[in-house]
Amino acid sequence: MAHKALIVIDMQNDFCPGGALAVGGGDEIVPLVNHLIDSHDHVILTQDWHPAGHSSFASQHEGKQPFETIEASYGPQTLWPDHCVQGTKGAQFHDDLQWTTAELVIRKGFRPEIDSYSAFFENDHDTPTGLSGYLKERGFGEVVLCGLATDFCVGFSALDAVTCGFKTSVVMQACRAIDLDGSLAAMTERMRAAGVHLL
């Protein structure tokens, strides 16, 4: 049975320099991510996949700016610039990402009224993406994560992977962070406290 899966988080144009929600140096990790893909037998990708007018976009809230926080029905929600809109160039994977061996692409954030950082759950921490069931049915007990961004989608995915019972590692060199008001340090500490192995 399969044991370990690599999960590549949101290596999309909008999260790379020049994109709508660019992570500093986001494109620098592509060669390392490609190396990880090449060295793992089982690869899964996540893809942020928002409908136009998603509720997490600052443009949908009058008087609000990107990176402000609002109180959504499921708790605090950071507002973002419009990004990774379904079918746009920004939502596509980075051109240099060698992802054709991926066995599964999990799309997230497609429900208009709720954002999704984690590969495992929507931001209500209750609505599953189906990834945990897929991994367990395939016999995976361990996941290795890399991608964008360390302090949001990678970090929340890692925390949820532990909650779902997986041995979890994050290859920190193969990630980059947004680092909003100290969010990188806070997430790093949360991951370490939860038992995530930071490589």
Q: Is 153 a catalytic residue?
A: yes
Q: Is 108 a catalytic residue?
A: yes
Task: Spot the catalytic one: 16, 48, 84, 108.
Answer: 108
Residues 84, 88, 89: CA angle, nearest 5 degrees: 95
Are 33 and 15 in contact by the 8 Å Cβ rule? The answer is: no
Task: Spot the catalytic one: 10, 27, 82, 151.
Answer: 10
Task: Spot the catalytic one: 16, 84, 146, 153.
Answer: 153
Considering only CA atoms, which of 166, 173, 151 is closest in space to residue 196? 166
- Residue-wise DSSP of 105-152: EEEES-STT----SSSB-TTS-SB-SHHHHHHHHT--EEEEEEE-III
Q: Is 89 a catalytic residue?
A: no
108 φ/ψ angles, rounded to the nearest 5 degrees: -135, 160
Active site residues: 10, 108, 153
